[in-house]
Structure 1
Amino acid sequence: MKATKIKMKTGCAQSNNTTEISEIYVEGCTNPGYFAKESLYDYLKNNPDSIQVNIYPYPNLIPALSSNQEKYVRSEPNDTPNDNLLKLPRN
């Protein structure tokens, strides 16, 4: 499956912080669409390495917890300064 678009939290449209993503559009599944980051966190805990960011080098999405124990997802670290998830089109 591929993450192809993101929606940011209200007022965070230009943010480069993955915790401020509210929803992620996932394709390649039986019901493509936007999924809340918390739902994807739970899914990825049970199904690791099953969703990739649709930007080369196609890093896996991984579950993460913020310092406030907020569930979110980010891409596996690589040699880019910003998370690849934040490079997806924003709606």
Structure 2
Amino acid sequence: MTKATKIMLKPGCANPQSAVEIDKIYLVWANNEGYFYDKEVVHDFVQKGNIVHVDIGPHYPKLIDAISSRGEKYVRSEPNDTPHDNLLRLPRV
């Protein structure tokens, strides 16, 4: 299972209100190797049908691809009972 485990915000963004403000996402692969990827790369990966889970239990929501009103590619987590996107709850670097 591929998991998103941490995020890096856009420069100058200290208090994000939306997943659009994420710059890079750290993905950990099944072999436990991990790397930071630009959110646009993760968007394309998910859009092609690959599954990435946010590393927040117990539900481990999936990432879904999205495009902002400005045409910016990004990903967000599946909606659930939390008021904020689960990606924004991951540790920040």
Instruction: Determine if the alignment matches structure 1 residue 5 to structure 2 residue 15.
Output: no
TM score, norm. by length of structure 2: 0.91
2:29 paired residue number: 28
| More displaced stretch, 22-31 vs 6-15 | 22-31
User: Quick one: which of 22, 26, 42 aligns to 1:40?
Assistant: 42
Gaps of 5+ in 1: none
Partner-residue secondary structure (3-state), 1:33? strand
1:76 paired residue number: 78
1:32 positional shift: 1.9
The number of aligned residues is: 90
Q: 1:46 to 1:71 in 2, by over 3 A?
A: same
Matches within 5 A, 1:44-63: 44-48=46-50, 50-56=51-57, 57-63=59-65
- Identity across matched positions, percent: 49
User: Quick one: which of 69, 88, 91 aligns to 2:90?
Assistant: 88
Q: Which amino acid aligns with 1:9?
A: K
Alignment root-mean-square deviation, CA: 1.2
